Amino acid sequence: MSEPLLRIRNLRASVDGQEVLKGIDLAVAAGEVAAIMGPNGSGKSTLSNVLAGRDGYEVTDGEVRYDGRDLLDMEPEERAAAGVFMAFQYPVEIPGVVNATFTRTALNAQRQARGESPIDAIDFLKRARETLGRLEMDEAFLRRDVNAGFSGGEKKRNEIFQMAMLEPRLAILDETDSGLDIDALRIVAMGVNAMRDGRRALVVITHYQRLLEYVVPDSVHVLADGRIARSGDRELALELERAGYAAFQPA
Amino acid sequence: MTENWLAGQRAAFAACRGALPGAGTPWVDALRAQAFRQFEEDGPPSPKVEEWRSGPTAALTRQVFAPAVPAGPHPAPVPAPYLAGPRHRLVFVDGRYSAEHSDPGELPAGARLTSLGALLAEDPSAARELVGDPEAFAEERLSLVTDRRPQALVALNTALVSDGAVLIVDNGVALAHPVEVVYLAGAATVPSAHHLRTLIALGAGARASMVEVHAGGSGSVWTNHVTEIALDASARLEHVRADAGTRSAVRVDVAHARLQAGTAYAGFVMAGNTGAVRTETRLVLEGAGADGEINGLCLAGGSGHIDALTRLDHCAREGTSRQLWRGVFGDQARGAFQGRIRVLAGASGTNAALDNRNLLLGTGARAESKPELEILTDDVACSHASATGQLDEDALFYLRSRGLSEQTARAVLMAAFTGSVADRIADGDVRAFVRHLVDDRLNALGSAAS
Ligand SMILES: Nc1ncnc2c1ncn2[C@@H]1O[C@H](COP(=O)(O)OP(=O)(O)OP(=O)(O)O)[C@@H](O)[C@H]1O
Ligand SMILES: [Mg+2]
């Protein structure tokens, strides 16, 4: 079997001197959708942040290989250019920065880093409009400041919009379904499914089975107390929905 | 030290008073003599004077700056016009009008654009009406103490002023194009002072837009610039004062505006000198329903120092005022903002807002913010906000996680932090020019900080 797109081995990480990730092992192959579920505070967002390269997390052991490279050795923007995307659990509001300008700057920064030519404003706008249309988002979102004053659901949709525009190879969605109404959930799920082309990998962090009805995962992993406590197929998600995490809570 | 400095000013005044514009005209000579006496009594500003507590007083007195007479021997190349579209342009080199580099263009009937030197030579009585008595600039405090010392440099300016732009617009006349005034200082190698005075008088219902740009200079230059503005009923003025890559050791910039009923003054300050800047704006809303706006950007790096002071006196009812100030300080730079809103008895229905935020890049920079409200009447709405902080780490990471380099992400956030201020400039060409200046300045600060 060929090397998975993402391989995490014995990853340990601390925040403020406290160990949060206590030896994570996880492999996600190109084309795979891996769901991560787990109780609040178990380390799911910490794992996403470490993968995206956020400051403030001290990796004390283990390694993460992405597409044959040492992911932990790369700057956040290098990871982005290499195709890693994280949809934030809490997208940041950036007043004063226009969504369209930002998304185009990001896209062109990535293209430049990959040695590709920049996309011009007209082509960008065309693609952005199509993408917004698919996500049933109003074009006004392009002109508004990044996430500023967006409702919770709008922020999540904006993350999916950016993902669709940036076309990452590995997308980590941190509770993108939380706070979405039923229609929005369906639309977001459709946006996610549109990424499934057999080459990209998706890590979907969620608390709810509902998203996984739309985005059917290839594997489901339970993250509890900083470790992958159990892995299985989609049946595991259904089981968790019934039984909760009691079996995984530290005594 | 101060004695030495005062002696230097005394010697300079004695040496050049006979050659200054208007010399020989009795009221001019008398005014200069009175102003100089007043300055001698008050002395150069010191941190003991409340309004100068955080001012660049040390940089000011470290060198004995004497007026550059005649023009200095280190001419700087004259910059191309700053405003892209049609404009009326006056250029002053080393404190003196340069006909060669100016291009006043065609002005509408009833509008007069000239230099102070020319006005004093050709029409001294017109000048007499516009130049304020230095005594009148005295600071009146809440404690009812009247203190002349905060305005000592205005007095010195009155004594030594060498030239400046003059714009007089008659009732009802509107200028279609902005006026661009360039004050260019040469790269002097001996301590040199430029005392400049801009006079703007708009008649009832008149409209104009003026941009004053400071450029050039060196670590041996002190620019002492005073702008006096009188707006008659319902006149509207947009007024920008900006540093365009200025390298003066010290730049002191004071604007005094008097607003009659129904007038609108929209002021903007872009302070980005590499040395020290003291920028002061005093708006006196004398007539009912006047609207005063003064916004500013203070952008300093290196060992730069920007000290901004505003004072808005609401003297009549139904006045409105807004102040939006943003500071970005990198390296070891220092910033201070003092904003005072004063609502006098009788100024009911006043609505005044002040908002100052500072961004520190790195740990060496410092900024302080001191809003002050003095409200002596009921029925007013005054608000003030101030905050000083670093770039938002969460926002930086968000941008980087989408592929922006750290430097670009910082630049984007700095531009967002400052953008709303320049956006308020109404004239499109003026706004574009200011944005360009701000971008340049932020780029310099951003690349030094990362
Ligand atoms: N920056 C931080 N400072 C202090 N503690 C932190 C920080 N980030 C994470 N933690 C702690 O690490 C633990 C794991 O947090 P994390 O956000 O990864 O949980 P999660 O699994 O994403 O939870 P949820 O389901 O609620 O989103 C928590 O106990 C949390 O308080
Ligand atoms: Mg989380």
**pLDDT of B56-109, one tens digit each?**
999 999 999 988 655 555 667 899 999 999 999 999 999 999 999 999 999 999
pTM of the model: 0.90
Q: What angle do CA A85, A128, A186 make, to 5 degrees?
A: 65
- Which tokens sit at B258? 């008097």
Q: Which candidate in A51, A92, A114 is best for mutational testing of the B interface (most B CBs within 10 A)?
A: A92
Nearest to B404 among A86, A91, A109 (CB): A109
Q: What angle do CA B42, B139, B141 make, to 5 degrees?
A: 120
Q: How far is A218 from chain B (nearest CA, A)?
A: 26
Q: How far is B411 from chain A (nearest CA, A)?
A: 11
> Domain segments of chain B: what residues?
2-390
Which range among A129-143, B21-35, B70-84 shows the weakest confidence by mean pLDDT? B70-84
Residues of chain A found within 8 Å of residue B400, distances taken between Cβ atoms? 53, 75-77, 80
- Which tokens sit at B296? 């500013």
- Which tokens sit at B432? 């574009």
Contact B275, B250 (CB under 8 A): yes
- Which tokens sit at B86? 């049609």
| Nearest atom (ligand 1) to Cα of A57 | 1
Contact A31, A198 (CB under 8 A): yes
Q: Does B390 touch chain A (CB under 8 A)?
A: no
Q: Are A55 and B412 in contact (CB < 8 Å)?
A: no
Q: Are A77 and B417 in contact (CB < 8 Å)?
A: no
Sequence-ordered strand ranges (E) for B275-432: 276-285, 291-300, 305-314, 320-329, 334-343, 351-360, 366-375, 381-390
DSSP B85: S
The whole-chain average pLDDT of chain A stands at 94
B376-435: pLDDT as tens digits: 999 999 999 999 999 999 999 999 999 999 999 999 999 999 988 999 999 999 999 999
Amino acid at B448: A
**Residue with the nearest Cα to atom 31 of ligand 1?**
A41
Q: HSE (CB half, 13 Å, CA atoms) of A175?
A: 18
Q: Does A109 touch chain B (CB under 8 A)?
A: yes
Q: What angle do CA B175, B176, B180 make, to 5 degrees?
A: 75
Q: Which ligand is nearest to the CA of A47?
A: 1
Beta-strand pair A201-205/B66-67 = unpaired
Residues of chain A found within 8 Å of residue B401, distances taken between Cβ atoms? 52-54, 76-77, 79-80, 85-86
Q: What angle do CA B437, B443, B448 make, to 5 degrees?
A: 135
Residues of chain B found within 8 Å of residue A105, distances taken between Cβ atoms? 404, 408, 412
Contact B335, B295 (CB under 8 A): no
The whole-chain average pLDDT of chain B stands at 94
Residue in A with minimal Cα distance to B399: A106
Q: Interface pTM (ipTM) of the complex?
A: 0.97
Q: Are A80 and B403 in contact (CB < 8 Å)?
A: yes
- Among A12, A14, A15, A58, which is best to mutate for testing ligand 1, by the most ligand atoms less than 8 A from CB? A15
Helix, strand, or coil (residue B136):
helix
> Is the model's pLDDT at B17 over the cut of 60?
yes
Distance CA(B362)–CA(B389), nearest Å, equals 10
Amino acid at A87: A
Residue in B with minimal Cα distance to A76: B401
Q: Check residue A69 and give left, alpha or beta (phi > 0: left; psi -120 to 50: alpha).
A: beta
* Residue percentage of chain B with pLDDT more than 90: 88
- Which tokens sit at B162? 């060498």
Q: Which of B215, B103, B224 has the alpha carbon at shortest distance from B155?
A: B224
pLDDT value for B77: 86
Q: How far is B440 from chain A (nearest CA, A)?
A: 18
Contact B336, B310 (CB under 8 A): no
- Which tokens sit at B178? 């902005």
Tell me the C-alpha to C-alpha distance, in Å, between residue A169 and each of A120, A227, B382. 23, 25, 53
C-alpha B52: how far from its chain's center? 15
Distance CA(B256)–CA(B268), nearest Å, equals 13
| Nearest atom (ligand 1) to Cα of A89 | 27
Helix, strand, or coil (residue A176):
coil
Q: How far is B419 from chain A (nearest CA, A)?
A: 7
Domains and CATH numbers, chain A: 6-248 (3.40.50.300)
Integer-rounded Cα radius of gyration of chain A: 18
**Residue with the nearest Cα to atom 24 of ligand 1?**
A40
Can you say whether the dihedral through the CA atoms of B21, B24, B25, B30 is positive or negative?
positive
**Residue with the nearest Cα to atom 1 of ligand 1?**
A15
Residue given tokens 């698919």 in the structure block:
A134
Burial (CB < 10 A; 0-12, 13-18, 19+), residue B389, is exposed
Ligand 2 centre distance from Cα of residue A43 (Å): 7
pLDDT value for B137: 85
Q: What is the torsion angle, in degrees rounded to the nearest 10, for the CA atoms of residue B372, residue B378, residue B379 and residue B382?
A: 10
Can you say whether the dihedral through the CA atoms of A217, A222, A227, A228 is positive or negative?
negative
- Which tokens sit at B106? 């065609």
Ligand 1 centre distance from Cα of residue B212 (Å): 53
* Residue percentage of chain B with pLDDT more than 70: 97
